[in-house]
Structure 1
Amino acid sequence: MRLLRGSLIKTELLIRLFLIIFFFYTDKYPGFVRKIQREEFWLYNFPRTHSYYPSEYLWLTLFFAPLVSVWIVYHFTKDKVDAVQSILGSCLSIFLAGSITNVVKIGVGRPRPDFLARCFPDGDIDDSMVCKGNEKDVIDGYKSFPSGHSALCFSCLGFIAFYLAGKLHIFNPTGRGHAWRLMCFIFLLLWATMIAVSRTADYHHHWQDVTVGSILGLSISYLVYRMYYPSLQKQNCHLPYVSISPTDTQISYSDHRTDAPRTPLSPTHTTDIEQLMKVV
């Protein structure tokens, strides 16, 4: 089994630890207080409602979706290297997207659609805009752009979609002609899309916030995925780079089934999961 050298794996883990701490710190940090003109009141005068996809559900999704997906793939491939790389990749994608989103939120300070309901819970809007509502709710009310839910769900589910697309060879000749494989890919992106859209339905975000957050999350998920895996059009797209780069001096490797280093796959090479797909 391939193992990362101690110094390298420590660096990888420290980067993720930093991003996690940075994300939760900036998540509570007060942002820019943008002035609201009276003629803009209609943009921010929507009622406060409960989230259709609460933060608790979102974090359960971010935690379990990658773990379950990796476990299913590992069940067929028994490739520990791939499992480690995919977990590292999904974690980096989620918290990198979340950290960038929080920084932009703080800098932009766009009020949410329900901001006036947060600022004036009694409904008596004062032109002086001296808020009477809960301070925490008001601070959060200035963090509408971009949508954190959208960025996080696309950074997570988008990464998993690309990961499964590589394993199932959806975008190269090996997997073409199998609609069910494409549906697995589409389902994950549809799941993320519906989470994002729900943020406009419950008046927590404007449509622009959701659009930019979704693009940001999906872009980062693809960027991070390509750091760990080849193009989805390659025949060996199901393998992480470390498994097809014998010249990598940072990593010592021997195959989990043989003692010989793994070399790039030929077009006729098939893996355990590919053989399973043919049977299905």
Structure 2
Amino acid sequence: MKNNGPSMTPSRTGTNINLLQEIIIRLALFAIYMYFEFQDPYIRMIQPDEMWLYKNPRTASYVPLTTLYPVTFGLLAIIFFIYYCRTGDFEELKSAWLGLTLACVLNGVVTHSVKVVVGRPRPDYFWRCFPDGIANDELQCTGDSSVIMDGRKSFPSGHASFAFAALGFLSCYLAAKLHVFTERGRGQSWRLLVAGAPLLAATMIAISRTCDYHHHWQDVTVGSVIGIIEAYLCYRQYYPPLGDRFGFLPYSSSCLTINCCTKPCAKPCTQQIESTTGETEADDKLLLDNEEKNN
């Protein structure tokens, strides 16, 4: 049956977000994360013949947290703000920050709770345990206790999981805004490259943790998987699938509260959709007619 007068607004119902509840949840998750951050890890027995695994030299982090956090959050803030200035959609800005913050605090809880339970020594643990390089027969550490305890929190990598949680979320965000997986953006490789750039950055950050001997490769691999899974799950809490034609609109967008089959799209929403996709209602009608013929 032919659809007369199609609209550019998707026929979904907008989602109401309880902002106070969302803030409380994030604060609670952050408190749990801080609890595990300051807990002593499980003291795993180290056999003398495996100590060679932990004799790598102690070096400074290639990507310290004092650089990682400001640069990552600063980059995300700039991108979110630029898109907000382009569309003026506050619901979009709110959804972006809620999704990102949920991914980050949830990642902190999962990663640091596992660190405490596993208690795997870092590659440079020997020098944390014996700063003078002389080990005793009982393998009783003589170094600073806080440095030693941190040396038993190798698995999984917090740098890797955070990088993939935050930058993985950004990659999903850019992929939706650039329509990488929809008919609008397919075949335009620059869109894929832009959306994939944050994942490359996250990969470099993760790999750096093996280069500075702060993590084993297994720590980095598992941390990266944890981060990317949380990034996608948290993104999908606020946005449709990446292949959805209107996936660049958050579930809470006011544009989603209008039935596209019976009512015309509100002017601000039409402007937002056209400015983001580059499509007009004429383009939309043509696409729908083609889909109807194919069916």
2:237 and 2:15 mapped to 1: Cα distance? 18
2:118 to 89, 105, 108: 108
| Residue 189 in structure 1 maps to residue 199 in structure 2 | yes
Contact 2:16/2:252 (<8 A) preserved: no
Q: Indicate if the aligned counterparts of 1:149 and 1:195 stay in contact, CA closer than 8 A.
A: yes
Alignment: residue pair count? 258
Pairwise CA distance, 1:245: 5.0
What's the CA shift for 1:26?
1.4
2:20 alignment partner, SS class: helix
The TM-score with structure 2 as length reference comes to 0.82
Aligned to 1:168: 178
In structure 2, the residue matched to 1:72 is: 82
Partner in structure 1 of residue 136 of structure 2: 126
Which residue of the partner structure matches residue 211 of structure 1? 221
Q: Residue 273 of structure 1: CA displacement?
A: 2.4
Alignment of 1:21-36 (within 5 A): 21-36=31-46
**Which one is further off, 144-153 or 126-135?**
126-135
1:271 matched to 2:274: yes
**Partner SS state of residue 240, structure 1:** coil
Match in the other structure for 2:282? none
The alpha carbon displacement at 1:31 in A equals 0.8
For residues 187 and 14 of structure 1, the distance between their equivalents in structure 2, rounded to whole angstroms, comes to 32
- The one-character-per-residue Cα deviations of 1:170-211 (angstroms, maximum 9, x if unpaired) are 011111122211111121100000000000000000000000
The answer to whether the 8 Å contact 2:15/2:252 transfers is no
Name the amino acid aligned to 1:47.
P
Which one of the candidate residues 216, 228, 245 is aligned to 1:235?
245
1:257 Cα shift? 5.6
2:257 is matched with 246
Which residue is equivalent to 2:6? none
Contact 1:144 1:205 in 2 (8 A): yes
The answer to whether the Cα contact below 8 Å between 1:150 and 1:196 also exists between their aligned partners in 2 is yes
How far off is 1:3 after superposition?
Answer: 10
> What secondary structure sits across from 2:120 in the alignment?
coil
Is structure 2 residue 74 aligned with structure 1 residue 81? no
Q: Partners of 2:186 and 2:243 in 1: how far apart?
A: 11
Q: 2:67 aligns with which of 45, 53, 57?
A: 57
* 1:114 to 1:275, Cα distance in 2 relative to 1, 3 A: same
What secondary structure, in the 3-state scheme, does the structure 2 residue paired with 1:146 have? coil
Give the residue type in structure 2 aligned to 1:190: L
Contact map agreement 1:3 1:81 (CA 8 A) in 2: no
Cα–Cα, structure 1 residues 71 and 256, in superposed 2: closer, same or farther, change >3 Å? farther
* Whole-angstrom CA distance in 1 between matches of 2:191 and 2:226: 25
1:4, CA displacement in angstroms?
5.7
Q: Distance in 2 between matches of 1:210 and 1:233?
A: 29
Secondary structure in 1 matching 2:257: coil
The corresponding residue for 1:251 is: none
Q: Is the 8 A contact 1:144 1:206 kept in 2?
A: yes
Report if the CA contact (8 A) 2:26-2:105 is conserved.
yes
> Unpaired runs of 5+ in structure 1?
248-254
Amino acid at match of 2:177: K
Q: Conserved in 2, the CA contact under 8 Å of 1:151 and 1:216?
A: yes
| Greater Cα offset, 21-30 or 212-221 | 21-30
Quote the Cα distance in structure 2 between the aligned partners of 1:164 and 1:78: 17
Q: Deviations over 1:141-197 (max 9, x none)?
A: 010000000000100000010011001100111111222111111211000000000
Q: In structure 1, how many angstroms separate the alpha carbons of the residues matched to 2:38 and 2:71?
A: 21
Q: Which has the higher contact order (CA 8 A, sep 6+)?
A: 2
Contact 2:42 2:117 in 1 (8 A): yes
For the residues of structure 2 that align with 1:224 and 1:271, how far apart are their CA atoms? 27
> Does structure 2 conserve the Cα–Cα contact (< 8 Å) formed by 1:66 and 1:87?
no
In 1, Cα distance between equivalents of 2:93 and 2:62: 32
CA distance in 2, matches of 1:54, 1:144: 15
Alignment match, 1:95 = 105
Q: What is the letter of the counterpart of residue 275 of structure 2?
A: D
Asked if 1:41 is matched to 2:47, the reply is no
